[in-house]
Amino acid sequence: MNFHRAMIILAPAVMLFAVASSAADFRDLNFDASCADIAALETARGSSSFEGKLPSGYQFAFRTREMDRDAVVGYSCKDGKLFRGAYMFDVKDGDDATQLYTALKRRVTKELGAPYYDFASAEHRRKMQDVGATLSRTDTQVAFWDAKNAEAHASVAEPSKDRGWRVSLSYTAKSALEQ
């Protein structure tokens, strides 16, 4: 086999390896990277600016599509460096929230393995029962995963004074958790 033919055969595998090895911690950025390019990166992905009050704790937010749904993607920065990113979904009701949470939990578990703490676990339910707590379905829809450089967290929030049902999936840099 000549060199040219070997390169044609190997090029796709090399490109796939390069893409996989340069995967970002959250979307297109690595944790502790500069937040200066967030708007340009989200624009390049087809996201649009988020109008209105930013979600609590986020300095940047954009409207996007994730999980075949409309979502808000938020970025938290400290000293100009990324330390948290999140997807936030407004859902129509508790059943829709449960359906999306279940899909997110399945997706993250496939990517990162089983949650290290799952509020739906028998262990958590037993702890809460032992202290006399009554758990709603929403109370059990929280899970945490350990990733290489981050902690992932998925949860469902019931309606509050100024918003409806919400499902979120966030990734926080371990370096930010240690502070």
Output the pTM of the full model.
Answer: 0.81
- Among 179, 175, 174, 157, smallest CA distance to 166 is for 157
Round to whole Å and give the CA distance between 173 and 179: 11
Q: What pLDDT score does 24 carry?
A: 82
Tokens coding 126 = 């037993």
Q: What pLDDT score does 82 carry?
A: 96
Question: From the CB of residue 108, how many other CB atoms can be counted at a distance below 10 Å?
Answer: 21
Q: What pLDDT score does 3 carry?
A: 35
Please state whether 156 falls in left (phi above 0), alpha (psi between -120 and 50) or beta. beta
Question: From the CB of residue 102, how many other CB atoms can be counted at a distance below 10 Å?
Answer: 15
Domain boundary assignment for the chain: 26-177
Residue ranges in the chain modelled with pLDDT below 50: 2-22
